[in-house]
Amino acid sequence: MKIEANDKEIQDIFSLGYFKIPRFQRPYSWEDDEVTNFWTDVIKQSGVNYFISSMVVYQTKKPYFGIVDGQQRLTTITLMLAAVRNAFITLNELNLAKGVHGFIERKNIDNEDEFILNSETSFPYLQDHIQSFNGFNIPCDVGTEELNLKSAFEYITQKLSEEISNVRHSNQSNQLQLFSDDNKHAIEKLKIIRDKILSLKLVFIQLDNEDDAYLIFETLNARGRDLTTSDLVKNLLLKNLKSNHSHLDAAKISWNGIVKMFDNAGVRGSLDPFLYHFWLSQHEYTTEQKLFSKIKAHIEKGTTANLILKSVEENANYYLSIISPDSCNWTTEQQDIKRSFEALLQFNVRQHLPMTLSLMRAYRQRRITLKMLRKTLEKIEYFHYIFNGITSQRSSGSVSTHYSKYGIALSEAKNHSEIQASIYEMIEGLKRKKPGFDEFKTNFLDLAYTSRSTKAKGLVKYTLRKLMGDKLSGVSIDFDRMTIEHILPEAKGANESSLLLIGNIGNLILVDKDTNSRDLVDLPFNQKKAILLKVIPICFVKLRFNALERAKRGMSEIMCGSDFTAL
C-alpha cells in the first residue's frame, strides 16, 4: 500500500480536481453541536492557516478522487463557501460571488460544469439548492438523509448574517438584505471570512486505489470513533460487492432501500439494533460491540456478502413489523399478532427481539402456522407482562441469551419436530425465569392510575383490556376509543390515602369515550353501576365490583390469577 501525505490549504485541495463521496460512506451526519464547534473554530477563533486535521482520499482517475476520511469537514466547508457566495450575490457583487463559486463548481476537460464535491447520498438538495449558483432562490424537496445538511446550511447562513453587522435576515424572504449605506463594510467582512475558509490547512493523505480505501476506512473507524456499526457493515458489504455497471450499483441500491424502510417507518435510529438482533436470531450470540468483527469473520470464512445483504434486506421487513406494527399491513386474522407486538412495546423490552424476529421469519417463510405464531407470542407477551410490566425485573443477560439460543435453534430447525422442540424449550425456559406469584401479587396490588399519577396508564389500560376480552356480544371492541374510568370517582381535594384506593386497579374500568364524558361524569356509585351494567359485558362489570368490594381480601387473585397462570 502506497500512502502520500502533504500539508495543503483548502484552496489548493479544491484546485486539484473533483471529489466524490464513495458508495460506502454514510450521508452527511454532523448535527448542531458539531457544526457550531466547527464554525466557532474556523471563523471566530482561528487565524490564517488554521489546521483542521487530515483528509484521506484515493484517486480513481485523474483528476477524480474518492474521499475515505474527511467528508463531513469537506462538506461543511462547501456549505460555508456557498453561504459566502450567496451573500455576495445578495449584495449584487456578482464577480466576487463567481470567484467563490469557482471553488464549488468549475468546468471539466469536456468544458462542462461539474461540482467539485459530488455526493450521491445528498442528491438533489446539495446540488440543486446549495451548490448551484442561484440555487438558494429555488425551492427544493429535502429527503430524510438530507435533514442534517439542511439544518447545517441554515445555521451557517444565519451565523454569517450575524457576523456581518450591517446586514440582516429579512422576515419576508429569509434572504440577506442590505442596509443601504454600508456596502463596503459588508463586502470586506465577507472577504475576510472567505479567505479564512480557503486558507484552512490539513494533512492531505492520498492512497493508490479503492481497495486500500476500504481498508483504511475500516481501520480509522474500527473502534467506532465516528461511525456506527451499520456504517461499518455497509462498508464491509459494499467492499465485497463491487459494482460492475457504470450506472447501476445493485448492492448500494439494496442497502439504501433498507435505510429508507426504517426512515419511512419513523424508526431511523433502529438500524443498528436491527443488525444486532438479526445476527442473534440466526447466527450466534455476541455483544453489540463485537458484532462487526463477527460479521467480518463470517464473510472471511466463506459466507458471501451477497447472501448476508439479501438476508438483511428480507429480515428488515420482519423486524419493522415487530418494532413498528402500525407501519405494516395486517390482515384481520393477524390482528392478534399486531396486538402482541404493541404490548411488548408497551412493556419497553427488547430482549425478545431475536426470538420474535425468528418467529416472524419462520411464519413468513411458511415454516410455522399463524396459530403457532399467535400462541408462542402470547406466552412471550405474558412473560414480559409479569417480568417487566408488573414486577420490573432486571435481566442479567440470561433472558437475552435464552432468546438468542432458541431463535437460532428455530432458524436452523430442519423439520416440524425440531421447530416444535425449539419453541417448547424456549417457553419452558421462560417459565423457570418467571417471578413467583406472591411477588407478582404484591406488585400488582400497587398498580394504579389517577389524574395525578399517570405513569402506569398504559399498563393499566393493557391489564383492563386483557380482563375485558376483545369482543362485546360478538362484536370486536375498538379499544382506541376506550378510556379509563374510576368507578368510585376522584373527589376534588382527596387526600393521599383516598387516592390510593380510588386509583387502584380494582376501582378502574374501561368504557367508551362518549359514555364516559356524556353519561357517567361524576355520578354517585349506584347510578354509575346501573349504567355500566348496560354498556359493558355483565361478567366483567360484576368482576370489577366484586374486586372493589373485596379489595382487602385478595383482590389480585380475582383480578389476575388467570393471566399469571396462562404462561
CB of 164 closer than 8 Å to CB of 191: no
Number of H helices, E strands in the chain: 24, 14
Higher pLDDT, 529 or 158: 158
Q: DSSP letters of 344-378?
A: HHHTT--TTHHHHHHHHHHHHTTSS-HHHHHHHHH
Q: 194 Cβ partners below 8 Å, 6+ apart?
A: 81, 84, 100
Q: How many percent of the chain have pLDDT more than 70? A: 81
Q: Is the pLDDT of residue 554 over 50?
A: no
SS3 of 121-159: the string is CCCCHHHHHHHCCCHHHCCCCCCHHHHHHHHHHHHHHHH
pLDDT digits (tens, 9 = 90+) for 274-313: 999 999 999 999 999 899 989 989 988 877 899 999 999 9
What angle, 0 to 180 degrees and rounded to 10, lies between the N-to-C axes of helices 457-468 and 538-549? 120
SS3 of 435-504: the string is CCHHHHHHHHCCCECCCCCCCCHHHHHHHHHHHHCCEECCEECCHHHEEEEECCCCCCCCCHHHHHHHCE
CB of 193 closer than 8 Å to CB of 200: no
Sign of CA dihedral 154, 159, 163, 166: positive
| Apex 547 CA angle, 543 and 550, nearest 5 | 140
**pLDDT recorded at residue 165:** 62
Q: Is the pLDDT of residue 563 over 60?
A: no
Beta-bridge partner residues of 117: 19
C-alpha cell at 337: 399478532
Sign of CA dihedral 513, 519, 521, 523: negative
Beta-bridge partner residues of 67: 57
Q: What distance in Å separates the CA atoms of residue 522 and residue 43, rounded to the nearest whole number?
A: 64
Smallest CA-to-CA distance from 359 within 380, 345, 339 is with 380
Higher pLDDT, 412 or 45: 412
Give residue 101's Cα distance to chain centre: 36
What integer is the mean pLDDT of 192-200? 94
Strand pairing category for 64-69 and 471-472? unpaired
C-alpha cell at 77: 466547508
Contacts made by residues 128-135, CB under 8 angstroms, sequence distance 24+: 130/78, 130/79, 130/82, 131/78, 131/82, 131/104, 131/105, 132/105, 133/85, 133/89, 133/97, 133/98, 133/101, 133/105, 134/89
SS3 (DSSP) at 205: strand
What is the C-alpha end-to-end distance of the chain, expressed in Å?
60
For residue 561, which amino acid is it? Answer: G
Question: Residue ranges of the domains in the chain?
Answer: 3-207, 226-435, 440-565
**pLDDT recorded at residue 493:** 59
Higher pLDDT, 338 or 54: 338
Smallest CA-to-CA distance from 536 within 511, 505, 503, 507 is with 511
Distances 245 to 213, 238, 242, 249, 251 between C-alpha atoms, Å: 20, 14, 9, 7, 11
Q: What distance in Å separates the CA atoms of residue 168 and residue 164, rounded to the nearest whole number?
A: 8
C-alpha cell at 216: 483504511
What angle, 0 to 180 degrees and rounded to 10, lies between the N-to-C axes of helices 398-412 and 271-282? 60
Q: What is the mean pLDDT of the chain?
A: 83
For residue 472, which amino acid is it? Answer: L
Instruction: Output phi, psi for 391, to 5 deg.
Output: -95, -5
Q: What distance in Å separates the CA atoms of residue 519 and residue 124, rounded to the nearest whole number?
A: 56
Question: Of the ranges 133-142, 179-188, 390-399, which is most confident?
Answer: 390-399
Q: What distance in Å separates the CA atoms of residue 474 and residue 481, rounded to the nearest whole number?
A: 18
Using CB atoms within 10 A of its CB, is residue 479 exposed (0-12), middle (13-18) or buried (19+)?
Answer: middle
What integer is the mean pLDDT of 455-483? 79
What integer is the mean pLDDT of 344-348? 93
The enclosing H or E element of 98 equals helix 94-101
CB of 122 closer than 8 Å to CB of 145: yes
198-207, 351-360, 480-489, 532-541: least confidently modelled range: 532-541
SS3 (DSSP) at 397: coil
Strand pairing category for 64-69 and 113-115? unpaired
Q: Global pTM?
A: 0.68
pLDDT digits (tens, 9 = 90+) for 249-267: 788 889 989 988 998 898 8
**pLDDT recorded at residue 121:** 64
